[in-house]
Amino acid sequence: ENLFASLGLQQNPRTTRFLKNLEETKTQLDGDGRLGRELGKKKNAVLGYLFFTDKESIASLTPAKIADSATRIQGSEISLLKGNVTRGAIPIGLAPESNIEKIYKGGLYSGFFNMVPDPEDGTVRRVHLLIQYGQNIYPSLDLQVLRHYLHADNLVVEADENGLIYGISVGQKFIKTNNDGSILLDYKGPVETFPHYSIYDIIQHNIPKEKLEGKIVMVGATEVGIYDLRNTPVGVAYPGIEVHATLLDNLLT
């Protein structure tokens, strides 16, 4: 409207219609905003985020940017803890790289998706379920997905008398972990042991509803150029998203 006024053009039904169309077009082109709104229509999605764990990776981040990102993971921390966890017993995050404002509000829960290969040969054999950031302990994406799937109200972390992790309760399910809060993976087979579906085919309704209904659906990239491929005992180019599917399968079965 200000532009029309500055150009000396008067307000009339045609300009009103044009401005309305312009606003609708802007909304349609805002993919992030549309995704956030769609996620918010039915609180059924668990969103992932990343923790930076080395000083080099946060060297370019300002304190303000770190603080801003941290506000978007507030509320996802572990609220029930039995015992005291010794600092350093589980991996430590130095800063979160969380979802942007438009998207994160649409999710039900959020959890980190960090993956730490074994240092000896860079192979992913285990996944950590907990990371400490500041004074709080945060759950992994897999724990949060499991929490939603099992309709659990809370996650409860238990520490032993030495301050090491003993296990994690998800509702009525107890997960015995390694002392650092990790789980050794039992891979079921090579790539695509779990069904893969193109997101395009899902959007175009080319996948029968019964293929996905009532199931946990992990959404992630599998193309080589995305660089989310991992070295695992069952393959050297194993999609990171299928590592998470493997862990969830292990925890459920």
- Which two tokens mark 184? 């050794």
Give the pLDDT confidence score for residue 111 in this predicted structure: 96
Q: Provide, rounded to the nearest whole percent, the portion of the chain with pLDDT above 90.
A: 74
- Averaged over 197-204, what is the pLDDT? 93
> Cβ neighbours of residue 104 under 8 Å, at least 6 residues apart?
36, 47, 72, 98, 110
pLDDT at residue 192 above 70? yes
Q: Which amino acid is at 249?
A: D
Query: Which range is least confidently modeled, 16-20, 28-32, 38-42, 126-130?
Result: 16-20
Rounded to whole angstroms, what are the CA distances from 222 to 124, 206, 218, 227?
Answer: 16, 19, 11, 8
Tens of pLDDT, residue by residue over 162-178, are: 999 999 999 999 999 99
